[in-house]
Amino acid sequence: MVSTRDRAARRRVDARSSVERIIVAGRTVLGEGEASLERIAAEAGVGIATLYRHFPNREAVVRAVLEDILETDLLPLVERAADADHTRRALQDIATRLLDLITEERGLVTFAGNFADVAVDVLQRFSASLRPLLARAQEAGEIRSDLTAEDIPHFLVMAVAGLALPGTTPSLRARYIALLFDSLNPADATALPPLSAEEGDLRTAIGNVTRT
C-alpha cells in the first residue's frame, strides 16, 4: 500500500519534472521567435493548466528561462573568469555572452511586457557572483572605483535593451559593448572592434522591431 508520504514525494518529483520540461520548452519556443504559453505547454508535453499552476503568466516563464540561462550558460564563464589576467576584459566577455544568449532566445525580450524589470530582478541575484571579479578589476585600476556589483544588472539590461534586438549582428554587439565598457574607465579606453559596412546599424534593428 502506497503511503501518504510516498504519494507526496511522487507529486514533488512530478512537479519538478514538469517545471524542468516547461523551462526547456520555453527556451526552445522562445528561440524560434513566435512564442505563446500554449505552444510552450505543447512543447513541454503538459496541459496548459499544468503550465499555469507553475507559471501563472508570461513574466514567470521569462524569469525561469533567464535563471536557467544564467545558471547553465553564464555562471561557468564567471567561475572560469576568477583567474583571468584582465578582469575588465573578462567582465566584458561575460556581458557579450549574455547578449548572445538572450539574442539566441529571439522571443525572450518581447514575450514579457516588462522584460527589463524581470531581467534586473534576476540579474541582481547574479550580481553577488560578479562582486569578487569587479573588486579585482577595481583594485587593478581597470574599472572606476565607485561602480558597485548592484550597478551591473542595470548596466547589462541597458545593453540588452539596445543590443539584443532582432537583426543586431555579433560585430555590432561587440563594438558597442566595447564602447559601454570603456565608459566605465575612459582613461583606459580600448580600440573599438571593427564593424562591417554591410551589417547595418541599430536603426535597422529598431526598425525590424517596429515592423513586427
Can you give the residue ranges of every domain in the chain?
1-56, 57-211
**1-56 CATH choice from 3.50.50, 1.10.10, 2.40.30, 1.10.260:** 1.10.10
Q: Do domains 1-56 and 57-211 have the same CATH topology?
A: no
pLDDT tens-digit profile, the chain (212 residues): 444 444 334 444 445 688 999 999 999 999 888 789 999 999 999 999 999 999 999 999 999 999 999 999 998 888 888 888 888 888 888 888 888 888 888 788 888 888 888 888 888 888 888 888 899 988 988 888 888 888 888 888 888 877 877 677 888 888 888 888 888 887 877 777 776 655 544 445 445 544 44
What top-level class would CATH report for the domain 57-211? mainly alpha
Cα–Cα separations (whole angstroms), residue 79 to 24, 57, 70, 87, 128: 23, 32, 12, 12, 12
pLDDT in tens, 73-89: 998 888 888 888 888 88
Opening angle at CA 120, ends 106 and 90, nearest 5: 80
